[in-house]
Amino acid sequence: MLNIGYPGTQWDPFAELRQLQSQMNRMFEGSPRTASDGAWPPVNMWLGDDSVVVTAEMPGVTTDDIGLTVRENTLIIAGKRNPSTDDEDAAWHRRERPAGEFSRSIRLPLRVDPDKVEARAKNGILEIEMGRPDAERPRKISVKAA
Amino acid sequence: MAQELKTTGGDVARTGERDERAMSGPVYRPATDIFEKDDAVTLVIDMPGVAPDTVDVSVENRALTVRGVIQAPVPEGYRRIYAEYAPGTFERAFSLPDTIDADGIEASHRDGVLTLTLKKSEAAKPKQIKVKAA
């Protein structure tokens, strides 16, 4: 599971460390890039003022094959990856791309409003933008002069 | 068929490209499926984040090289708080056997997946030889 910093912290040293570690893992021979720790798809997370963005590397998965579930502070990305070919007569020389059903649950740093979710896909990257419920937005309170 | 030439992360010694490489970050080896059916060999290569018009496919001395720079723009007004993948370059090389026609390679890129279709050369296709009655 994800262990992320509090919203508002500027720097999460553990995120940096994990990123470094996954980069190191990827440098070694024989470890395909997307199978670093078994969790699929690999995600990045971005925090804004009143919203959070999750981007996921999902090559070859069309938007029709992706199901998103948002509940409070949890995002679930589920779907199915189709194999390169269904042809049983095809002879395989190399098979590295994972196929089959997947599901991943991601804890978000804030509660999000299911009505404020937007998802886009481009070049195999899925971007999910989620907004905070209006009632939980930090409000500015103006101070009146006496 | 289409054996892999380099199994390293793509750290090929080509000094001319050093500067460019440093700019685009680490080099990753993309996950690849290779299958053969009838007179065609198909390579399916995962390249998420690479735009179709920036994919580079080249053949030199029977070596097929694919390369693509990952474009990972930062969402505007956001800062990164967690990361499992990073920008960089996908690169992988395959050696083409003589049975493949190097001029007849077709490439397409969709949803971050590069598909190469390699045709077997005429000489390598299975031929039926008719036996004549004496």
d(CA B31, CA A84): 12
Angle at A63 between CA A61 and CA A65, to 5 degrees: 65
Which residues on chain B are in Cβ contact (under 8 Å) with A27? 9, 26
Span B111-128, pLDDT tens digits: 999 999 999 887 766 677
Total structural domains within chain B: 1
Span B10-23, pLDDT tens digits: 444 444 344 444 45
pLDDT at A39: 83
| Contact present, B58 and B94 (Cβ < 8 Å) | no
Most A-contacting residue of B5, B12, B84, B115 (CB-CB within 10 A), to test interface: B84
Residues of B with CB under 8 A from a CB of A: 1-2, 4, 7-9, 26, 28-37, 41-42, 44, 46-52, 71-72, 74-75, 77-86, 90, 111-113
In a domain, A24, yes or no: no
Q: CB–CB of A19 and B8 under 8 A?
A: no
Tabulate helix, strand, coil % of chain A (nearest 5): 15, 35, 50
Cβ atoms within 10 A of the Cβ of B2, count? Answer: 21
ipTM above 0.85, yes or no: no
DSSP for residue B128? -
Three-class DSSP category at A84: coil
pLDDT at A57: 94
Distance from CA of B131 to the nearest CA of A (A): 28
Q: CB–CB of A15 and B79 under 8 A?
A: no
Cα→Cα distances A101→A41, A127, B36, B48, Å: 11, 20, 25, 19
Distance from CA of A113 to the nearest CA of B (A): 18
d(CA A101, CA B60): 38
Q: CB–CB of A57 and B112 under 8 A?
A: yes
Total structural domains within chain A: 1
DSSP for residue A58? -
Minimal Cβ distance to B36: which of A53, A91, A97? A91
Q: CB–CB of A33 and B28 under 8 A?
A: yes
In a domain, B133, yes or no: no
- pTM of the predicted model, to two decimals? 0.72
CATH code of the domain containing A130? 2.60.40.790
pLDDT at A11: 65
Better-scored residue on pLDDT, B117 or A139: B117
Span B71-110, pLDDT tens digits: 877 888 899 999 898 889 999 999 998 888 888 899 999 9
Distance from CA of B64 to the nearest CA of A (A): 16
d(CA B99, CA B133): 32
* Domain span holding position A59: 38-86+95-136
Span A91-109, pLDDT tens digits: 999 999 988 999 999 999 9
* Domain span holding position B43: 3-124
A41 cis-preceded (ω within 30 degrees of 0): yes
In a domain, A146, yes or no: no
A30 — pLDDT class (breaks 50, 70, 90): very low
| Contact present, B117 and B90 (Cβ < 8 Å) | no
Whether pLDDT at B66 is above 50: yes
pLDDT at B20: 47
CATH code of the domain containing B97? 2.60.40.790
| Contact present, A2 and A37 (Cβ < 8 Å) | no
